Amino acid sequence: MPNKPQDPQSLMHQALTQAKKSPPKPTNYCVGALLINQATQEILSTGYTLELPGNTHAEQCCLAKYAAQHNVPEERVSEVLPPNTAIYTTMEPCNFRLSGNAPCVERIIQAKRIRTVYLGVKEPEKFVGENEGRGKLEECGIECVHVPGLEGEILEVATAGHEKGESE
């Protein structure tokens, strides 16, 4: 279903809509993601935190769902992705997972055809300290683009279910 060209702000709004579907938990951020064919502007897949069984992240769900649609395991999703795919994610992809699952940065790099990551906010340091995901993606030739303007709403949705500190 090819769409008319959409600006990054509009696509980030759609990713935020996905994030709002994530069940709030004190141990996760509610994140939303969209996998986009940049040539056609087609939304290939959507995802949000905890959408699929297990401690799944939004980017992981996007990739797993797209792979499943094409009857390949997630590890081989690069075989079926368009050559210039982008992923929109409300929060910087994780570079480390306390759960032991593969980090989203690693999944994006392994997908090979994702050339651009659009992100709404940097990951807060609450769970794993400073996230070095953006730097790792850029080292692998993947462009990272911050889409400004939704930071407050993204963080409000992302931290739903978290205890608010005294300063908040």
Q: Is 138 an annotated catalytic residue?
A: no
Tokens of 164: 């608010």
d(CA 47, CA 50): 9
Contact 144/108 with Cβ under 8 angstroms?
Answer: no
Contact 121/92 with Cβ under 8 angstroms?
Answer: yes
User: Which candidate in 51, 59, 92, 123 is catalytic?
Assistant: 59
Amino acid making up residue 16? L
Contact 32/147 with Cβ under 8 angstroms?
Answer: no
- The upper half-sphere exposure of residue 98, i.e. CA atoms within 13 Å in the direction of its Cβ, equals 7
Residue 115: other Cβ atoms inside 10 A: 14
Tell me which residues are annotated as active site: 59
